């Protein structure tokens, strides 16, 4: 069953002189439980696609069905809830809050959750130990290694139990060994049932995925 169904998607930024057609009729269907590498040249629309899939941005044309519901039918607060609950985001530069410790960084997505504080604490402990960084719980983000930072970022991405993980060059700032460790973690999450899309330029990263989707000039190429 497909969790994401995109047909003939368009995204145009700006207008007139500054108009950029980032997506031009892109179609893509993602099965529940899939793990996809999204590859393609710089500027081909990969991050734009991920942002639209993750409800950070809206398309300017075409059809996006998320779990069989048309994305245009969600209002702003529903979009915000989807971003927070349905998707986990992992990016190249980790986007941690430097002056927060690990625990506080992972707490961020739970800020507005009505769960009891004890449940939140237990959940954070669980994801930190799942990612092998429980002993770093009190460490400041800025004192962590690159690999540890990405683990914290992944912990933060999964603390709300999202169905879908969207990773934009998650290994781009890592050396190849650390990158492989991060991919092992993502692979394990996929085996546990998460649907994962990973933008990457790295064939080794792509080799962890079940499927490669190539994007060129804002659409899927053969």
Ligand X SMILES: Nc1ncnc2c1ncn2[C@@H]1O[C@H](COP(=O)(O)OP(=O)(O)OP(=O)(O)O)[C@@H](O)[C@H]1O
Chain residues that interact with ligand X, rule: CB under 6 A: 13-14, 20, 22, 40, 42-48
d(CA 124, CA 48): 30
Residue tagged 């998607």 (tokens): 9
Measure CA 191 to chain center: 16
Eight-state DSSP code of residue 121: H
Minimal distance in Å, beta carbon 40 to ligand X? 6
Minimal distance in Å, beta carbon 112 to Mg ion? 28
Count Cβ atoms below 10 Å from residue 76 Cβ, excluding itself. Answer: 7
d(CA 146, CA 33): 28
Return the number of the residue (14 or 16) whose C-beta is nearest ligand X: 14
Minimal distance in Å, beta carbon 10 to Mg ion? 18
Return the number of the residue (47 or 171) whose C-beta is nearest Mg ion: 47
Count Cβ atoms below 10 Å from residue 114 Cβ, excluding itself. Answer: 5
Minimal distance in Å, beta carbon 208 to ligand X? 19
Task: Tell me which of 44, 47, 148, 178 binds Mg ion, using CB under 5 A.
Answer: 47
Binding footprint of Mg ion on the chain (CB under 5 A): 47
């Amino acid at each position: 069953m497909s969790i994401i169904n995109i047909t003939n998607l368009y995204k145009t930024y700006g207008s007139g002189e500054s108009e950029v057609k980032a997506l031009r009729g892109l179609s893509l269907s993602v099965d529940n439980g899939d793990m996809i590498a999204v590859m393609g040249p710089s500027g081909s629309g990969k991050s734009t696609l991920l942002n639209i899939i993750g409800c950070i941005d809206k398309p300017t044309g075409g059809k996006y069905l998320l779990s069989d519901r048309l994305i245009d039918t969600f209002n702003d607060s529903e979009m915000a809830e989807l971003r927070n609950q349905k998707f986990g985001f992992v990016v190249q530069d980790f986007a941690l809050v430097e002056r927060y410790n690990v625990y506080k960084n992972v707490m961020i997505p739970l800020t507005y959750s009505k769960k009891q504080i004890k449940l939140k604490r237990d959940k954070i402990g669980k994801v930190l130990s799942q990612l092998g960084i429980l002993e770093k719980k009190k460490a400041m983000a800025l004192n962590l290694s690159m690999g540890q930072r990405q683990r914290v970022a992944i912990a933060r991405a999964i603390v709300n139990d999202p169905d879908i993980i969207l990773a934009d060059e998650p290994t781009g700032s890592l050396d190849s060994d650390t990158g492989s460790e991060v991919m092992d973690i993502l692979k394990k999450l996929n085996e546990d049932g998460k649907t994962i899309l990973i933008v990457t330029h790295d064939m080794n990263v792509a080799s962890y995925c079940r499927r490669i989707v190539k994007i060129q000039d804002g659409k899927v190429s053969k």
